[in-house]
């Protein structure tokens, strides 16, 4: 149900529709009936996700499911082994216990993150007013709970109130009603509301001049309003619905999609390899004779060994454990957490860990204008005053982009002449705003435009050098921020204010010079323009005026020159001034003209008005219809151009985006002209670019057919969308995502929250941002600066590269473990690596180096490369080939060293006979299960460290006696993985160019991993747990002989990659983004 379009109907029509009247409001019974019909004026609270549902969601992952299955099978085998032996040992449960512990920790972290993810909806409720002043049954109820409001209620609002519901302005109790609705609409200035400004029923929010919206604030004035919609029917209620919809459309991050794709492929490979291992070894536990010459088995001859079948089933389980990178989720989480710390140092506070990586593949940044690209601090950027003659028009530039008076100056102003002094007086006196210092920064209290005029007056300063120095010293010492303004204002006492209205587009103050409180050496306007017969002790009142440039200039008949003299405004002078006004308007400046009026002949009764009701001037001041007459025949003193200036660093940041292949789109609630001017200034558009197809309003975009929307958003270059509402922003983000873009969206207002939630990366402003925007976002900018977004993208790319490095390191090692188990099974060798050893390597030994790879420094040209696309595959054919080559060698080396110990007493000059172990042939090793049938076979005991490994049955040489060969396999695996970590420092650069010491953390991590391996080798209790024994020096030399070749193999692969494979792929990617079109 759509709310009644009260903004397109008169007050009488609205009263009739809601069956109410301004005098009496609703009766209590009628209000109660409507409350039952419409429900309370509150935002709906969505049903929370149950804890159990969130827990189950954490296990909806392919890798996790494989681990769960492996744990279940391991538990079953542990019980079976315990049943056979008559007791259950703790060691049998180490493997499944560790797997379940990892899964439990991951689930806890995931649930904790999700339970904090939807708090944006709660922040919306905080924006709602708690009480309201409502007229019920003809009497005012001052503190009615806002939840009790219903459509048709008559309420009163005044300055400082938060609007409790969407209301139609019915009656103004002051001349002006201004509302701060930037958080809802994105407008950079407060908005004036009226009773009669009717709009189209389907217009955008910014055009609804007669409406007040729930959650916005009254900046000035008071009014009587009729409640039009409440609760979820309000504009803020619609935003809540959009946030909920966006939450439901949350997509996985590119990294998660890549890992899921990898997990599914890995599951299929594991299943295939497990089945293959069983088929290869089926003859070990199942034998039969065929009937005749056929393939049909004779069931009478079938022999099945349950023990051997169980053994090879364990081999298959070990293979699954080896293939799964159990430590990968923990290492990824650690790397992302380290990334958040790096980003925090660059003023980007990450709220959701996966967003760190997503930033690295951002292809489009959709940025709000106000407060992100601009400072959200109105600043005067130009001052136009007359010089020595009427033809001498001085156009002075003003530097500075904030409310800090000491940041900038009026360029070319060597002295404070008569006209400039009057400009400072108008800025100081026609002003109700204040500047305050808060946490070391200057902030405006009141209208930003008026605060900018105060800053202009401070930059002009006072003529007295000693006084000016004192003012500046006080400001630097945390004293008064507006010393110059106070000095100007001290010479006058305000008597009356002629408030602004939309017809004459100006406001003024009537001031009386304060005797004895002037500016000393400065000239006094009152004396200069006083009537001839007036004494200096009793000067005339002065009218100071500011307003829209074209309107004020039209009502001026004279102008002030630099020396303070006044000359008539000629037709030529007026034409020249209007030309300047038109030229500056094209740059989206807000132009304010300033004028003065003094003398009994000009002001009439107001020249001597003191504020008393009995004075003849009171009648003039009390009648707003006379204000335009009063503000006529004035003396023009100057013209100021104001704007919300772009941040100084934004232009270079956008140039950096272009260099990185990232498109920038500006989406703002501000008007089209202002938005286009800012876009030209910051480099989104070229200065002379035709904007016919590059700049649209939100409504124009929404009205386009889907095909045209897609074509527009695919067009290279920047785009600008003005007058954008929340639904417009959502539609833009949605279409961008549909065409495969990775979208980062910045915003600060409530109106930005749905789009922030929908985007791949929602970036909220930390200083000016509403709590709703922050909690809907993935990242918060501590400095509200667009350049910080670009820095975060650079950091995200670096983090992704580092994650690729440690994933390459871990996966190639896991492939090596799979190959090792497969080769052992295929060759019929005893099991070289048992599951608990593989778990130790994957979780503990591999962990520190993988984490340390997250500290790799970013490539110098990282922001000169095009972004990766969302559909780019994590595993390319070349990457898979590299993994397989390294993995096959790892598997070969671990199996080879196992076989060498059994079959050689020396190898490559390394003596292996010192321990006294029995040498056998490779054929015997392959057929070890037939040991019982070997005649005369004997296996002697051998030493392992300070202990002796002995066995009563010679065939135990291949089970209990394999402990040293197994230790050698494990040690070769650990050593290779340490060297492999060094290889992973750079994807294509040689270790000669990027040496190990370029990342000191990796050296430390490798030392820790080797230390942990030595710990389990040389601490007897741990060695028993992992079924390993200490190694001698010669045996360590054998380990290095098999481990070091992996460095040479990877160096060859890197050479091929950097000279052949990646060169062509990089060129193709750059051509796809258009970066090499001129090459």
Assign 92 a pLDDT band (cuts: 50, 70, 90): low
Comparison of pLDDT for 1039 and 443, the residue scoring more: 1039
> Residue 376: its pLDDT value, please?
78
Q: Are 841 and 970 in contact (CB under 8 A)?
A: yes
pLDDT, one tens digit per residue, over 457-503 is 999 999 888 999 999 888 887 767 889 999 999 989 999 999 888 78
> Residue 524: its pLDDT value, please?
46
> Residue 121: its pLDDT value, please?
40
> Residue 668: its pLDDT value, please?
86
β-bridge pairing 166-172 and 566-568: unpaired
| 982/985 Cα distance (integer angstroms) | 6
| 428/1024 Cα distance (integer angstroms) | 86
Q: Are 332 and 350 in contact (CB under 8 A)?
A: no
987 CB neighbour count, 10 Å cutoff: 18
DSSP 872: -
> Residue 958: its pLDDT value, please?
93
465 in helix, strand or coil?
A: helix
pLDDT, one tens digit per residue, over 818-856 is 888 888 888 889 988 887 787 788 777 787 898 888 888
> Residue 870: its pLDDT value, please?
62
Q: Are 731 and 701 in contact (CB under 8 A)?
A: yes
Q: What is the pTM of this model?
A: 0.69
pLDDT, one tens digit per residue, over 234-291 is 888 888 787 777 776 656 667 667 777 777 777 777 778 778 777 777 877 787 778 7
Q: How far is CA 180 from CA 185, 300, 617, 991, in A?
A: 10, 92, 34, 60
> Residue 116: its pLDDT value, please?
47
pLDDT, one tens digit per residue, over 900-917 is 999 999 999 999 999 999
Assign 32 a pLDDT band (cuts: 50, 70, 90): very high
> Residue 81: its pLDDT value, please?
59
Q: Which of 61, 161, 166, 368 is catalytic?
A: 368
> Residue 31: its pLDDT value, please?
93
Contacts of 191 (CB under 8 A, 6+ apart): 178, 179, 180, 181, 185, 206, 209
Q: What is the rounded average pLDDT for all residues in the chain?
A: 83
| 330/67 Cα distance (integer angstroms) | 14
pLDDT over 80 at 1045, yes or no: yes
N-terminal to C-terminal alpha carbon distance within the chain: 57
| 136/796 Cα distance (integer angstroms) | 57
DSSP 616: T
β-bridge pairing 492-498 and 506-513: antiparallel
Comparison of pLDDT for 106 and 933, the residue scoring more: 933
β-bridge pairing 663-667 and 364-367: parallel
Q: Are 986 and 862 in contact (CB under 8 A)?
A: no
| 1022/1025 Cα distance (integer angstroms) | 5
> Residue 414: its pLDDT value, please?
85
Buried b (16+ CB within 10 A) or exposed e, 390-412: beebbebebebbbbbbeebbbee
945 Rama sector, left if φ>0, alpha if ψ -120 to 50, beta otherwise: left
pLDDT over 50 at 1058, yes or no: yes
pLDDT over 50 at 531, yes or no: no
673 in helix, strand or coil?
A: helix
Assign 160 a pLDDT band (cuts: 50, 70, 90): confident
Please state the length of the chain: 1079
β-bridge pairing 542-548 and 590-598: antiparallel
User: Span 739-765, mean pLDDT?
Assistant: 85
Calculate helix-pair angle for 1033-1043, 1045-1056, nearest 10 degrees: 10
> Residue 115: its pLDDT value, please?
54
pLDDT over 50 at 603, yes or no: yes
pLDDT over 90 at 943, yes or no: yes
pLDDT over 60 at 522, yes or no: no
pLDDT over 50 at 1075, yes or no: no
pLDDT, one tens digit per residue, over 211-225 is 999 888 888 888 999
Assign 1004 a pLDDT band (cuts: 50, 70, 90): very high
1016 CB neighbour count, 10 Å cutoff: 20
381 in helix, strand or coil?
A: strand
Contacts of 339 (CB under 8 A, 6+ apart): 350, 356, 357, 795, 796, 799, 854
Assign 47 a pLDDT band (cuts: 50, 70, 90): low
> Residue 521: its pLDDT value, please?
32
pLDDT, one tens digit per residue, over 336-381 is 777 777 888 888 888 776 777 788 888 999 988 877 888 878 899 9
DSSP 842: I
Residue with the two structure tokens 């939100």: 698
User: Can 368 be counted among the known catalytic residues?
Assistant: yes
581 CB neighbour count, 10 Å cutoff: 19
pLDDT over 70 percentage in the chain = 87
């Amino acid at each position: 149900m759509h709310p009644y379009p009260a903004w397109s109907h008169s007050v009488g029509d609205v009263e009739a529709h809601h069956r109410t009247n301004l005098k009496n409001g609703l009766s209590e019974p009628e209000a109660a009936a409507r409350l039952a019909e419409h429900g309370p004026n509150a935002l709906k609270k969505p049903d929370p996700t149950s804890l159990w549902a969130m827990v189950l969601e954490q296990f909806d992952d392919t890798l996790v499911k494989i681990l769960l299955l492996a744990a279940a099978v391991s538990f079953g085998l542990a019980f079976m082994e315990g049943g056979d032996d008559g007791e259950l040992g703790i060691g049998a449960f180490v493997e499944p216990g560790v797997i379940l512990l990892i899964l439990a920790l991951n689930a806890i972290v995931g649930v904790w993150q999700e339970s904090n993810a939807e708090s944006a909806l709660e922040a919306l409720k905080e924006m709602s007013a708690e009480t309201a002043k409502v007229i019920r049954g003809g009497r005012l109820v001052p503190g009615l709970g806002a939840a009790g409001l219903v459509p048709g209620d008559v309420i009163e609002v005044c300055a400082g109130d938060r609007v409790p519901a969407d209301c139609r302005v019915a009656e103004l109790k002051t001349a002006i009603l201004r509302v701060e609705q930037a958080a809802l609409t994105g407008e950079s200035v407060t908005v004036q509301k009226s009773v009669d400004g009717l709009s189209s029923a389907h217009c955008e929010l910014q055009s609804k001049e007669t409406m007040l919206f729930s959650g916005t604030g009254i900046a000035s004035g008071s009014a009587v309003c009729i409640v039009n919609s409440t609760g979820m029917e309000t504009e803020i209620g619609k935003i809540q619905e959009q946030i909920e919809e966006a939450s439901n459309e949350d997509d996985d991050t590119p990294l998660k999609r890549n890992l899921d794709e990898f997990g599914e492929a890995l599951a299929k490979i594991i299943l295939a390899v497990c089945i293959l291992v069983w088929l290869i070894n089926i003859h070990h536990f199942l034998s039969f004779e065929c009937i005749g010459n056929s393939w049909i088995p004779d069931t009478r001859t079938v022999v099945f060994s349950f023990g051997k079948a169980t053994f090879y089933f364990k081999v298959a389980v070990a293979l699954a454990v080896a293939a799964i990178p159990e430590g990968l989720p923990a290492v990824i989480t650690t790397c992302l957490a380290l990334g958040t710390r790096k980003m925090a140092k660059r003023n980007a506070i990450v709220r959701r860990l996966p967003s760190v990586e997503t930033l690295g593949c951002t292809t489009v940044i959709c940025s709000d204008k106000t407060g992100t690209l601009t400072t959200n601090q109105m600043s005067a950027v130009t001052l136009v005053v007359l010089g020595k003659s009427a033809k001498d028009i001085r156009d002075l530039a003003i530097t500075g982009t904030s409310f800090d008076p000491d940041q900038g100056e009026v360029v070319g102003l060597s002295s404070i002449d008569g006209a400039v002094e009057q400009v400072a007086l108008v800025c100081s006196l026609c002003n109700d705003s204040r500047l305050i210092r808060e946490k070391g920064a200057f902030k405006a209290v009141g209208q930003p435009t008026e605060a900018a005029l105060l800053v202009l007056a401070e930059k002009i300063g006072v003529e007295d050098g000693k006084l000016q120095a004192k003012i500046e010293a006080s400001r630097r010492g945390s004293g008064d921020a507006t010393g110059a303004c106070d000095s100007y204002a001290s010479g006058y006492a305000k008597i009356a204010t002629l408030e602004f209205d939309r017809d004459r587009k100006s406001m003024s103050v009537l001031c009386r010079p304060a005797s004895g409180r002037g500016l000393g050496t400065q000239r006094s306007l009152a004396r200069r323009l006083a009537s001839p017969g007036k004494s200096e002790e009793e000067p005339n009142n002065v009218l100071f005026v500011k307003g829209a440039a074209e309107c004020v200039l039209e009502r001026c008949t004279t102008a002030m020159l630099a020396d303070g003299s006044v000359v008539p405004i000629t037709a030529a002078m007026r034409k020249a001034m209007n030309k300047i006004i038109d030229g500056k308007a094209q740059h989206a400046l807000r132009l304010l003209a300033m004028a003065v009026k003094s003398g009994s002949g000009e002001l009439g009764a107001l020249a001597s008005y003191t504020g008393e009701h009995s004075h003849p001037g009171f009648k003039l001041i009390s009648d707003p219809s006379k204000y335009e007459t009063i503000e006529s025949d004035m003396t023009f003193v100057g013209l100021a151009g104001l704007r919300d200036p772009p941040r100084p660093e934004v232009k270079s940041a956008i140039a950096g985006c272009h260099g990185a292949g990232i498109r920038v789109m500006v989406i703002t609630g501000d008007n089209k002209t202002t938005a286009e001017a800012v876009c030209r200034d910051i480099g989104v558009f070229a200065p002379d670019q035709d904007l016919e197809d590059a700049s649209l309003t939100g409504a124009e975009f929404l009205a386009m057919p889907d095909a045209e929307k897609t074509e527009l958003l695919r067009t290279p270059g920047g785009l600008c969308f003005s007058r954008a509402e929340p639904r417009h922003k959502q539609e833009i983000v949605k279409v961008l995502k549909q065409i495969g873009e990775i979208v980062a969206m910045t915003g600060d207002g409530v109106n930005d929250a749905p789009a922030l939630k929908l985007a791949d990366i929602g970036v909220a402003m930390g200083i000016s941002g509403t709590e709703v925007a922050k909690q809907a976002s993935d990242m918060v900018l501590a400095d509200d600066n667009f350049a910080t977004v670009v820095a975060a993208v650079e950091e995200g790319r670096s983090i992704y590269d580092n994650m690729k490095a440690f994933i390459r390191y871990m996966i190639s090692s896991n492939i090596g473990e799979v190959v090792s188990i497969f080769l052992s099974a295929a060759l019929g060798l005893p099991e070289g690596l048992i599951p608990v050893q593989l778990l130790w390597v994957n979780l503990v030994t591999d962990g520190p180096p993988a984490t340390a790879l997250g500290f790799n420094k970013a490539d110098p040209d990282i922001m000169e490369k095009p972004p990766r696309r969302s559909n780019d595959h994590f595993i390319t054919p070349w990457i898979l080939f590299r993994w397989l080559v390294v993995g096959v060698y790892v598997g070969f080396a671990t199996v080879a060293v196992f076989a060498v110990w059994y079959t050689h007493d020396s190898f490559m000059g390394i003596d292996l006979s010192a321990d006294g172990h029995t040498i056998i042939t490779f054929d015997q090793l392959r057929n070890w299960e037939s040991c019982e049938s070997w005649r005369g076979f004997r296996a002697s005991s051998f030493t392992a460290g300070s202990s002796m490994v002995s066995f009563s049955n010679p065939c135990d040489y291949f089970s209990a006696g394999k402990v040293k060969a197994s230790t050698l396999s494990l040690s070769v695996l650990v050593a290779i993985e340490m060297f492999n970590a060094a290889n992973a420092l750079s994807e294509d650069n040689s270790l000669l160019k990027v040496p190990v010491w370029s990342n000191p953390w990796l050296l430390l991590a490798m030392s820790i991993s080797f230390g942990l391996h030595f710990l389990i080798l040389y601490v007897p209790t741990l060695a028993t747990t992992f079924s390993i024994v200490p190694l001698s020096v010669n045996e360590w030399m054998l380990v290095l002989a098999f481990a070091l070749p992996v460095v040479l193999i990877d160096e060859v692969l890197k050479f091929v990659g950097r000279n052949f494979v990646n060169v062509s792929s990089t060129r193709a990617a750059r051509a796809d983004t258009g970066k090499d079109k001129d090459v």
